[in-house]
Structure formats: structure tokens, C-alpha cells
Amino acid sequence: MSKFAIGLAAILLAGCSATTSITQKSASEVRQAVAIQITADESATEYSGPPMQGTTDGSAYNLYYYKMRALAPSDGTSPQYLLQIDITYRENWRNYEKAILGSGGQLEFSQLNRKTLNCASTNSCMLEETLEVALSEDQITDALKRRDKLRVKLYAKSGHRSVIDVPSSYLMGFYSAVVNRQG
């Protein structure tokens, strides 16, 4: 294979890995990957962490992608932190309706979108729900103080339960990007 073909293959493979497992990213890598922009009306700064991937059961049929987001008002009030989750699975709609912090306590929860990704047959479809969970700064800093992951348990009307684990390295990188930018 020519050097050009090897280089092209490497570039294509790197492009396919835009969403990766956190085990491949340190806190500093996460921090550097946080996108920061001022809102159109200049009332706040938006922070968007890099998207990460996990699985709820070890299979390729029950995947989730998550990223942390924050909105820091220009008036200096505390930022609002959000965990956005895209969860994909097969068969019937789960209809997620509730989120609980791993250490207890119900979290503010919103369902943003539901869509059918593709269908192999009328009974076998890949489905996706996009959810958003509000987190307080205290919940994030408590996990960081414990040097532990942030665990969010999702409950669906269908009876399914999914656990989303945000590793401490991701939390540390994202939180430091927000706090250090604010000054």
C-alpha cells in the first residue's frame, strides 16, 4: 500500500472516532476539547464538552452518547449545567421519563427528541431518544471531591433502566474549562 493510501486511511479512521470512550481522554484533553461561544444576544457564554460514547449492556445495540453543556450568564450568576444524552436501542420505544442521581435524588429531566434511525424490518428498528438532565454545581463538585464518576440512572415507562456514567476525568476537564474561563 502506498504512503498516500496509508495516510488517507489514517485520516479517515481518525475522523470516524469523533465520539470516543472516555478511557481514551484525560481531563486536560477534555478541557481542550470544550467548545466555548458567546450567545447571539451576548447574555451568556455557552460551553459544550466533547461527545463521548458508552454502552448500557456491553452490546452495540444499546449505545449512549453524552456530553456536558453549561450556560454561564454574563451577569456573573452561577452557570447552569446540563448532561445531554442520546441513547439508541432496538425494538420498541422506551419513553424515558425520570433521572435519578446515583447517590440519590431525582434530577430535573427533559426529553428533547425521539427518532427512528433505521429499520431492518417492520419489527426491528434502531431507535434514539435525546434527553437532557440538569445538574447543580454542587453535584459536580461532590463527585470531583470523591474522585468518582457521576452516575445518572434513567427510568423508562417501558420498565427499562439505563445507567449513564460520566467519568471523573471528563467532569474535571469540563468543569475546569468553565470555572477557569469565568475567572
Domains and CATH numbers, the chain: 21-182 (2.60.40)
Strand order through the sheet with 161-166: 106-107, 96-101, 150-156, 161-166
The mean pLDDT value for 26-46 works out to 93
pLDDT > 60? residue 72: yes
Residue 127's region, left for phi above 0, alpha for psi from -120 to 50, else beta, is beta
The pLDDT-based confidence of 121 (bands split at 50, 70, 90) is confident
Nearest CA to 88 out of 120, 60, 62 is that of 62
pTM above 0.85, yes or no: no
Mean per-residue pLDDT of the chain:
84
pLDDT of residue 99: 96
- Return the bridge partners of 44, or none: 73
**Cα 137 from chain centre:** 16
pLDDT of residue 13: 38
